[in-house]
A and B are shown apart, each in its own frame.
Chain A
Amino acid sequence: MNVKSFMECERKSLEKMKRYQLSNKFKKIGIGIIIISVIAFIVNKLSIENIDLKLTSKYGILIGLLLVSISKEKIEDELIKSLRMQSYTFAFIAGVIITLLTNPIFNYIANLISEKQEGSFEGVGDWEILWILLSIQVFYFEFLKRMNK
């Protein structure tokens, strides 16, 4: 394989990766999964306390948010693509800032300053970061769409 055909192959695979989006109907499926998972999560937290159900509902929320995030709008034109990119950028930056602010060291200092005598090294978990990132993206995208009406 020469360099030119290798580059062509790379370019084609990159082009395929650009078409990552799902059709509009997956948005409704995603919302349905989120609602069911949130209900299951709350019910589990309040009464059942089942570890499997807890994990399943966590996965459900994450998969639902991902489906909503990557499904197309009814008319996916260049304005929507631009708003989508803005929302991903905003979510990424906000996610990093939130992670930094909730970093164990910040928590430790905050706990020491507050009335607690001992500082605890608790940070934000990986699930929470992913939820925050996807939630910010989904809500900011909806906000931008409303702003551009």
Chain B
Amino acid sequence: MKNRLKIERAILDLTQEELANKIGVSRQTISSIEKNRYVPSTVLSLRLSNLFKKPVNDFFELDENEKANTLIKA
């Protein structure tokens, strides 16, 4: 899954630590999400959505493989 978390964080001029504090997780979690090592839960995604005031789809996106898999299954 691709994400624009780093860009959205830069728009709000927040450090990883500040963003982590705002949504109640560790800085490690933010770093892992930005590096695509960890896919956050729906609850965390919605908290980010509330903070960025944008829908989840604006900063999380399926990559090409995941989109292809969805089409095959459908």
Contacts and interface: CB of A to CB of B under 8 A. Distances in A.
B32 A148 contact: yes
Instruction: Name, among A73, A75, A80, the residue most crowded by chain B CB atoms within 10 Å (CB to CB).
Output: A75
Interface in B3-48: 24-26, 28-29, 31-32, 37-38, 40-41, 43-44
A77 B25 CA distance: 6
B44 A78 contact: yes
A82 interface: yes
B41 A78 contact: yes
A85 interface: no
Given A82-B38, A148-B38, A77 B31 contact: no
A82 B29 CA distance: 11
A9 B70 CA distance: 39
A2 B40 CA distance: 39
Given A148-B37, A148-B38, A78 B29 contact: yes
Contacts of A80: 26, 29
A130 interface: no
A148 B37 CA distance: 8
Contacts of B25: 75, 77-79
Nearest to B41: A78
Nearest to A146: B28
Contacts of B32: 79, 148
Nearest to A78: B41
A145 B29 contact: no
A116 interface: no
Nearest to B24: A77
A17 B26 CA distance: 25
B38 to A, nearest CB: 5
Contacts of B40: 78
Smallest CB-CB A-B distances: 4 pairs: A77-B25, A79-B29, A75-B26, A148-B32
Given A78-B40, A79-B38, A80-B29, 6 more contacts: A73-B26, A75-B26, A77-B25, A78-B44, A80-B26, A148-B38
